[in-house]
Amino acid sequence: MNETRAASTRWLTGKVALRAFLVAIAAGMGLGLLVILNVVTDTRFLFTAFAIAGACMLTFVQALVADHGRFERWMRTGMVAAWIAAAGLIAAIWVGDAIGWRNMEIPMRVVGAFGVVAGWCTWGGATLFARSGGALAAAVRWATFGVLTFGGSCALLGLASPGLAEWIVNDLLGDQLVARVLAASVVLVLGGSIAQPVLIRLFSTDQDGSTGRLGDRHVGVRVRCPRCAADAEIAANTAASCPSCRLLLRVQFEEPRCACGFLIYRLEGANCPECGRAVPDELRWRPDLTPSPASPPSP
């Protein structure tokens, strides 16, 4: 009961975030056009809409990761950080001119810290989301996450102690070396994020040799007609008939698969190795049970 309620809550979070994101983007586009046409002169409305849209986008990605049973507490932390950062940014947009931006330095650093945490949670969760792709994809995945964590730590250090960060950049390492390291980090993170789905695709193609499910393929199967005992070869998952007595025959394959599509036949673990989702009891393999006559013999 608790798992069902949690799953429905995660689904609702994703739906609400997606709809709110679309509404915020539509509002931002409309306000942008009004600002360009000089109908609306106060750009704070435009920046507020984009701040809400950014928080909704982060929340939606985090909800997708959590909805697949991965890093739920981590993603909830990212959601809270994203909306705290959005609320602080919106407050700064509307009161910054009245208070004075020089007096907003510390609050803006706090808002920036929450924004860095939200971004790191989102990008990190999306980076570590997949488990397939082989050893090479896993190495790229963890290398990308390590560089991302390094960049986030540097950003938090700069926001927490600007004086210390300035001393490290100017006196200890030098601004040129720091600029090169940061540029290389950005390239590695972007390259690793792009390479992961490509490696996963290549790995799945090499392993499976086909992208379709057996339950969707028209494989030729030799059967014996139950009426006239004539041998026939028909295509599975399609309507066919006996060539002798014209009896309607149909062979249909059923495969135990996780909700993500991963084949879990004879999987003895409790979770899907592809997405980490819990395997239902009715699909879980039990080697102590006697297989049906249609099942292949145990090795």
Q: Which residues contact 19 (CB under 8 A, 6 or more apart)?
A: none
Helix (H, G, I), strand (E, B) or coil at 40: coil
Sign, CA torsion 223/224/228/231: positive
Q: Which residues contact 122 (CB under 8 A, 6 or more apart)?
A: 58, 61, 62, 78, 82
CA distance 125 to 62: 7
Q: What angle do CA 29, 30, 32 make, to 5 degrees?
A: 65
Query: Side chain identity at 64, as an amino acid letter?
Result: L
**Helix spans in the chain (H):** 2-36, 44-67, 72-99, 105-127, 134-160, 162-167, 175-208
For the record, the structure tokens of 200 come out as 């996963």
CA distance 78 to 90: 18
Residue 294's pLDDT band, with cuts at 50, 70 and 90, is very low
**2-36 vs 72-99: helix crossing angle, rounded to 10:** 30
Residue 214's pLDDT band, with cuts at 50, 70 and 90, is low
In this structure, of 92-96, 104-108, 294-298, the range with the lowest mean pLDDT score is 294-298
Model pLDDT for residues 115-174, shown as the tens digit of each residue: 999 999 999 988 888 666 667 888 888 999 999 999 999 999 999 998 888 888 888 888
Highest mean pLDDT among 123-137, 206-220, 270-284: 123-137
Length of the chain, please?
299
Are the C-beta atoms of residues 90 and 54 closer than 8 Å to each other? no
Average pLDDT over residues 234-254: 78
Q: Pairing between strand 248-249 and 220-224?
A: unpaired
In this structure, of 105-109, 177-181, 251-255, the range with the lowest mean pLDDT score is 251-255
In this structure, of 9-18, 219-228, 242-251, the range with the lowest mean pLDDT score is 9-18
Q: What angle do CA 159, 165, 167 make, to 5 degrees?
A: 155
CA distance 67 to 60: 10
- Residue 3 or residue 138, greater confidence: 138
Pick from 58, 193, 46: nearest CA to 114: 58
Per-residue pLDDT at 52: 84
**Helix spans in 168-298 (H):** 175-208
Per-residue pLDDT at 149: 94
- Residue 132 or residue 96, greater confidence: 96
Per-residue pLDDT at 2: 42
Q: What is the dihedral of CA 44, 49, 51, 52, to 10 degrees?
A: 140
- Residue 107 or residue 251, greater confidence: 107
